């Protein structure tokens, strides 16, 4: 008989025991997202040196996203059955090597594509599912806040990467900027992951314990989850959410520049994404531990629609650009941990790696496809207006899908230490 998800007599004892796991996971998540948040700063230099279009430059993200769509469920299943720690460490090292290799490409567009293909493989190994699986396993009552702080690593990356990349590009060129991001990311994240990122599912916390020693967690298998209405509503909503937010985040610097802002001012505005991401992530984590995740997710999906409307009226001056970046970052900060939390509550932890691996793959694919489409729209229409005008009703539909998910199947346990409620039929 499957055991319920473990709880502590006091929920705060989760933090005393496992806060270092959150710290290491946040560093790993942040470093493994550097390519996504820094790409906007490299678009103009690459376009000037090689003559590539913005759609061609952005297509690298589509390759990583397609790789995540394929690799997410695979490596998620491996993390369920094998060792999330080994996947995280090896994937993190591969990712930093791959990021540095982007700085060695030549004038052939195929060299750009090949470098991104290797990056896609590395990110597949150390994707969000590996980091969040361990955190979600370590925390129950405060799982929402723990996942929010873990994904706060992306907020740090989005705050640091655009202005840092811009400064290094201005002084030393875009190749040195990529090499610097790769080396710096490895030196920050790998020691923390090596020291603190251990899987609490393993017996007595030993990182090399046999799979048979792991407790059997409650929840649905992957085939069982696929038969539920919630599973498909989440997938559609995740696809829409990732497309809308990523189009804004990746193209925000050129969007603002094309509206009249200088490159330096556009980069400064884009840096607002980081603080707003962290605020959105922290607020979502606190709300998820107190209110239904479906309601929280539906509310957060309204911010990108407002950002699009403001951006359509932006003239390059004033504070509107900062507000646009803030609204985009607010939802971007919450989306990944919202998905992780919702997956754990509606389907349990039994096959979390495989289920969230698919959700994460869909999210990553949308995050890569949307920047490519936005770049193609700009190349054709010489304006981002058509895609911005379309996003408002689409995001409203995604909000509706989240709002109608219904009750959790796996409730958080009360702080008294009682077992979580039995699964509901969904």
Q: Which long-range contacts (CB under 8 A, 24 or more apart) does 115-120 make?
A: 115/60, 116/59, 116/60, 116/61, 116/63, 116/64, 117/63, 117/67, 119/35, 119/60, 119/63, 119/64, 119/95, 120/63, 120/64, 120/65, 120/66, 120/67, 120/68, 120/71
pLDDT of amino acid 204: 43
pLDDT surpassing 90 at residue 6: no
Tokens of 38: 């820094």
The reported pLDDT for the residue numbered 181 is 92
Q: Is the pLDDT of residue 82 over 80?
A: no
Terminus-to-terminus CA distance in the chain, angstroms? 20
Q: What residues contact 230, with CB distance under 8 A and at least 6 apart?
A: 346, 405, 406, 426
Lowest-confidence region among 70-74, 88-92, 236-240, 252-256: 70-74
Separation of alpha carbons 292 and 300, rounded Å: 13
- Contact present, 127 and 360 (Cβ < 8 Å): yes
- pLDDT at residue 5 tops 60: no
Does residue 402 contact residue 301 with C-beta atoms inside 8 Å? yes
Pair of tokens at residue 262: 């200088």
In this predicted structure, which of 29-38, 99-108, 247-256 has the lowest mean pLDDT? Answer: 247-256
Q: What is the DSSP annotation of 318-358?
A: SSHHHHHHHHHHHHHHHHHHHHHHHHHHHHBSTTHHHHHHH
- Find all residues with CB under 8 Å of 42, minimum gap 6, and list them: 57, 165, 169, 174, 177, 178
* Cβ count near 291 (within 10 Å): 12
Span 29-71, pLDDT tens digits:
889 888 877 887 888 888 888 888 877 887 777 777 777 767 6
C-alpha to C-alpha distance for 58 and 47, rounded to whole angstroms: 11
Alpha-helical (H) ranges within 198-302 are 222-226, 229-258, 263-270, 273-288, 293-300
- Calculate the dihedral angle through the C-alpha atoms of 343, 345, 349, 351, rounding to the nearest 10 degrees: -40
The answer, yes or no, to whether residue 104 has pLDDT greater than 80, is: yes
Domains contained in the chain, CATH given: 16-202+214-403 (1.20.1250.20)
DSSP per-residue letters across 56-85: HHHHHHHHHHHHHHHHHHHHHHHHHHS-HH
Residue 348 β-bridge partners: 219
Residue 96 has pLDDT above 90, yes or no: yes
Residue 255 has pLDDT above 60, yes or no: yes
15-29, 305-319, 394-408: segment of lowest average pLDDT: 305-319
Q: What is the mean pLDDT of residues 352-375?
A: 79
* CA 59, 67, 245, 235 torsion-angle sign: positive
Q: Considering only 56-60, 214-218, 235-239, 243-247, which range has the smallest mean pLDDT?
A: 214-218
Which has the closest alpha carbon to 196: 145, 150, 235, 233? Answer: 150
Per DSSP, the three-state class of 28 is helix
Chain segment 307-335, per-residue pLDDT in tens: 887 777 766 566 777 777 788 877 876 77
Distances (CA, A) of 225 to 40, 49, 409, 425: 37, 48, 11, 11
DSSP secondary structure of 154-172: HHHHHHHHHHHHHHHHHHH
The model scores a pTM over 0.85: no
* Residue 140 to residue 344: CA distance in whole angstroms: 10
pLDDT grade for 260, boundaries at 50, 70 and 90: low
Pull the structure tokens for residue 18.
């496992």
Report which of 411, 30, 409 is spatially closest to residue 221, judged by C-alpha positions.
409
What are the helix (H) ranges across 102-142? 109-125, 128-138
Query: How far are the Cα atoms of 110, 116, 166 from residue 119, in angstroms, in the given order?
Result: 14, 5, 21
For residue range 174-217, what is the model confidence (pLDDT) as tens digits? Answer: 899 999 999 999 999 999 999 888 877 664 444 444 444 445 56
pLDDT for 281-290, tens place per residue?
778 878 888 8
β partners of residue 219: 348
Q: What is the pLDDT of residue 131?
A: 82
Residue 182: its pLDDT value, please?
A: 92
Least trusted range by pLDDT, from 244-248, 405-409, 422-426: 422-426
């Amino acid at each position: 008989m499957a055991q319920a998800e473990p709880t502590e007599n006091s929920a705060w004892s989760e933090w005393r025991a496992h806060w270092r796991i959150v710290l290491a996971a946040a560093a790993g998540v942040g470093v493994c997202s550097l390519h996504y948040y820094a790409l906007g700063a490299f678009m103009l230099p690459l376009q000037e040196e090689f003559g590539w279009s913005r759609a061609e430059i952005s297509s690298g993200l589509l390759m990583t996203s397609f790789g995540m769509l394929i690799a997410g469920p695979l490596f998620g299943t491996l993390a369920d059955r094998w060792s999330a720690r080994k996947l995280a460490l090896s994937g993190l090292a591969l990712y930093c090597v791959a990021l540095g290799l982007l700085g060695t490409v030549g004038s052939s567009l195929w060299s750009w594509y090949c470098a991104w293909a290797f990056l896609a493989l590395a990110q597949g190994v150390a994707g969000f599912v590996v980091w969040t699986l361990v955190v979600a396993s370590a925390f129950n009552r405060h799982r929402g806040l723990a996942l929010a702080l873990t994904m706060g690593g992306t907020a740090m990356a989005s705050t640091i990467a655009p202005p840092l990349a811009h400064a290094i590009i201005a002084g030393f060129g875009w190749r040195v900027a990529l090499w610097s991001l790769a080396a710096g990311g490895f030196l920050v994240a790998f020691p923390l992951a090596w020291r603190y990122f251990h899987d609490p599912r393993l017996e007595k916390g030993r990182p090399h314990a046999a799979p048979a020693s792991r407790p059997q967690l409650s929840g649905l298998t992957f085939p069982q989850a696929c038969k539920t209405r919630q599973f498909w509503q989440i997938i559609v909503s995740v696809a829409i959410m990732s497309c809308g937010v990523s189009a804004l985040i990746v193209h925000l610097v050129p969007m603002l520049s094309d509206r009249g802002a200088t490159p330096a001012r556009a980069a400064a505005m884009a840096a607002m994404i980081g603080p707003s991401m962290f605020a959105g992530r922290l607020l979502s984590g606190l709300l998820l531990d107190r209110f239904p995740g479906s309601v929280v997710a539906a509310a957060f999906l309204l911010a990108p629609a407002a950002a699009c409307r403001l951006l359509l009226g932006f003239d390059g001056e004033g504070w509107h650009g900062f507000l646009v970046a803030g609204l985009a970052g607010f939802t971007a900060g919450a989306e990944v941990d919202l998905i992780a939390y919702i997956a754990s509550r509606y389907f349990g932890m039994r096959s979390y790696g495989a289920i969230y691996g698919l959700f994460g793959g869909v999210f990553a694919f949308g995050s890569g496809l949307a920047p490519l489409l936005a770049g193609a729209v700009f190349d054709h229409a010489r304006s981002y207006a058509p895609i911005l005008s379309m996003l408002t009703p689409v995001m409203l539909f995604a909000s509706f899908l989240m709002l109608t998910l219904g009750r959790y199947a796996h409730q958080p346990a009360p702080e008294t230490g009682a077992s979580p409620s039995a699964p509901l039929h969904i």
